Structures are given as structure tokens and as C-alpha cells.
Amino acid sequence: MEKRILLLTTGGTIASTQTERGLAPGLGAQELLESLRDILPPCRIDTREVCSLDSTNMTWREWLLLAGAVREAYDAYDGFVITHGTDTMAYTASALSYLIQKSPKPIVLTGAQKPIHMEITDAKSNLRDAVLYALDEKSAGVQILFNGQVITGTRAKKVRSFSFDAFSSINYPPLAAVQDGRILRYIDVGESREEPVFYDSLNPRVFLLKLTPGIRTEILEAVFQTYDCIIVESFGVGGIPDSMADDLFAILSRYEPGEKVLVMTTQVTYEGSNVGVYEVGQRLRERFPLLEARDMTLEAVLAKMMWILGQNLTGFGEIEKLFYERIGQDTILA
């Protein structure tokens, strides 16, 4: 029987046209498919335009819309392809990895650095490869396909602004490559015959605080009033400067454990964090229960916390347990 793919479009460069004020999403799903007419493998592709945004404008609301669209159509299709802007694709891929777990069907995000109608573009090969990958029996779960590389949804990071190889897989190998229409698998993900588990709520009150040398602390008060979780992106393996520690603990001590969650992560792209190594980190752990991102990407940590805090858990213990549970391939060090 002919395989069926659902193409969900969201905008991004891939679907952009030149306007007087710069590139902006303008092409619909059918126009994207038209450009690929002669290079797609035989299959039936239905389309749904979820939104038409530069991914700079995507929020957790669109993540929920996308997850809902996949859920609604899940039984009718063999696989899903989502076209998306590259700027926040890693966040969306992470969010979908938590909102749609254990999916035996592939959900493949792709996009492009150049619009599909440009003469020199990566859009056609990326979209064709994504469809090809979504059609394959052994594909499963949420992934990004970009520049011939397949990266699991929770490990992708945009690392180049202009080049075609825009994404890297962080602290985990790429799952597969697609070359000249052939899939070379490095890691098997297709064995799951489990039922997918869908979630439909997120708590968006998660803040990222990036440390800089000499950072002032006045901002903390407002941050803790507005957000339920603060991810501190510290410098290396992890620590809080002495100049911030006292103010931070004074504020945190006003809340019940679990009411505000502190997560430590690092600005360093590769190899993760471990706050136990230095005194500036250990002291922190002794004074307040906190979570450590270890080998997870920032995008995955942010999405995971939004997912966890969206589930009405009670107390720090339950949050901690879920945070350190491996979902998909999001961590190997927890």
C-alpha cells in the first residue's frame, strides 16, 4: 500500500520569499511540494499549514499546536515531516520530544538556510531527504534532518548562521546520514513497537539566566517573581560567583522546595556540566536542592522543565525524579 506522509508547515526560511523588508515566510505547503515534484519518492503527501512564522516568533503555543496536529493525524499516516525555521528548530524538536514520547512513527523536522525558490538552496535536498527518512521502516521518534545529517530531537543545536551544515548533535552521535537518497544508520531507533505517549500541557515560566563576569544581582528578584524555574547558564562545569550567591539564596529561601526550581547548566557547548568539581559549585549544591543539566543541551533542558512543570507535580522530589529520567536520547549522564 502507498505510504502516507503528513507535511506540517510552520514558515521559516525554507518557505520565505524576498519582501521589501527582508525575507519573510510566504509560501504554502503546496508550493513547497511543487518545487520537489520530480525528486520525491513515490508516496502520498497530505499537507497542513500549522502557522507561517519566522521561527523567531515561535512559542510554546506553536509547540503544543504541532504536537496536537500530529496526535490528531497519528493513525492515518506512516510518518510526519515538519518544515520549520532554523533559528528555533532545536527548541521545537526538544519540545516535541517531550510532548510525543516513544513514537514508533518518525516525526522529522527540517528547514533550510536558503529559501526553496533561490537558485542555490539547501531547501530541496533537505525536504526530499526528510520525506525519504520519514518513509523508511526503521525511522521512529522526533528527529531533525539537516544537510544530510539526522540528529535526535533533544541533541540538536544550531551552530552556524549561514552555512548549510547549520546543526550539530551535541554530546551524542548523529543517528544517521542521508546521502544520495540512501540512509546510513549509525544508531538504531526503529525497534520500538510501543504506543506513543502524548502530552498537551507545558509551563512556559522557565527562565534562562546567563552568567557574565561581574553580573549584577538586582534582576534576580524580578526573575523569581515571574518564573517558576531558573536555568543558570554558568561558565564552565558549573558554579555561582560569590557576589551573587548570598542574594540568590536569600531569595530562594523564601520559597518552599519545588516552588522554584534551580537548574545548573553550562555555556560550554560540549561535554556538559558537573557542579561538584569546584568549590563555587559544591557550596551551591549544599545550600539549596538543585538540578544539574550535565550532558543535556540547553534547548532540551528548557523544554524538559516546561514539560515537567506542566504536569502538576508536588514537591521537589517528583520534579527531580522526572528530570533525571532519560527521555528519548536526552541524557546519558543523569
Residues forming the active site: 13
CB of 111 to ligand ASP, least distance (A): 5
Comparing CB distances to ligand ASP, the nearer of 86 and 168 is 86
CB of 149 to ligand ASP, least distance (A): 16
DSSP state of 257: B
Q: Does residue 311 belong to the site contacting ligand ASP (CB under 6 A)? A: no
Sequential DSSP letters for 59-113: -HHHHHHHHHHHHHHGGG-SEEEEE--STTHHHHHHHHHHHEES-SSEEEEE--S
Comparing CB distances to ligand ASP, the nearer of 84 and 105 is 84
CA 198 to chain centroid, in Å, comes to: 16
Structural contact between residues 227 and 207, judged by C-beta atoms closer than 8 angstroms = yes
3-state secondary structure of 154: coil
CB of 25 to ligand ASP, least distance (A): 7
CB under 6 A: which stretch of 79-87, 93-101, 252-260, 262-270 binds ligand ASP? 79-87
Distance CA 261, CA 325 (A): 17
Q: Does residue 13 belong to the site contacting ligand ASP (CB under 6 A)? A: yes
Judge residue 68's burial from the number of C-beta atoms within 10 Å of its C-beta, 0-12 exposed, 13-18 middle, 19 or more buried.
middle
CB of 50 to ligand ASP, least distance (A): 14
Tell me the site size for ligand ASP, rule CB under 6 A.
10
Q: Which of 62, 87, 129, 299 binds ligand ASP (CB under 6 A)?
A: 87
Residues 111-140, one symbol each (x = binds ligand ASP by CB under 6 A, - = not), give x-x---------------------------
Vertex 328, ends 260 and 172: CA angle to 5°?
100
CB of 67 to ligand ASP, least distance (A): 19
Q: Could you tell me which residues come within 8 angstroms of residue 57 by beta carbon, excluding any fewer than 6 positions away?
A: none
Q: Does residue 274 belong to the site contacting ligand ASP (CB under 6 A)? A: no
Relative to beta strand 106-110, strand 100-101 is unpaired
Comparing CB distances to ligand ASP, the nearer of 54 and 233 is 54
C-alpha dist (Å) from residue 116 to 12, 18, 113, 159: 11, 11, 9, 21
CB under 6 A: which stretch of 52-60, 94-102, 255-263, 290-298 binds ligand ASP? 52-60
Comparing CB distances to ligand ASP, the nearer of 23 and 43 is 23
CB under 6 A: which stretch of 53-61, 63-71, 97-105, 201-209 binds ligand ASP? 53-61
- In the sheet where 206-210 sits, what is the strand order? 206-210, 229-234, 261-266, 291-292
Distance CA 97, CA 92 (A): 8
Q: Does residue 56 belong to the site contacting ligand ASP (CB under 6 A)? A: yes
CB-closest chain residue to ligand ASP: 85
Comparing CB distances to ligand ASP, the nearer of 121 and 274 is 121
CB under 6 A: which stretch of 64-72, 80-88, 167-175, 207-215 binds ligand ASP? 80-88
Q: Could you tell me which residues come within 8 angstroms of residue 318 by beta carbon, excluding any fewer than 6 positions away?
A: 258
CB of 28 to ligand ASP, least distance (A): 16
Using CB under 6 A as the criterion, which residues of the chain lie in contact with ligand ASP when the complex forms? 12-13, 54-56, 85-87, 111, 113
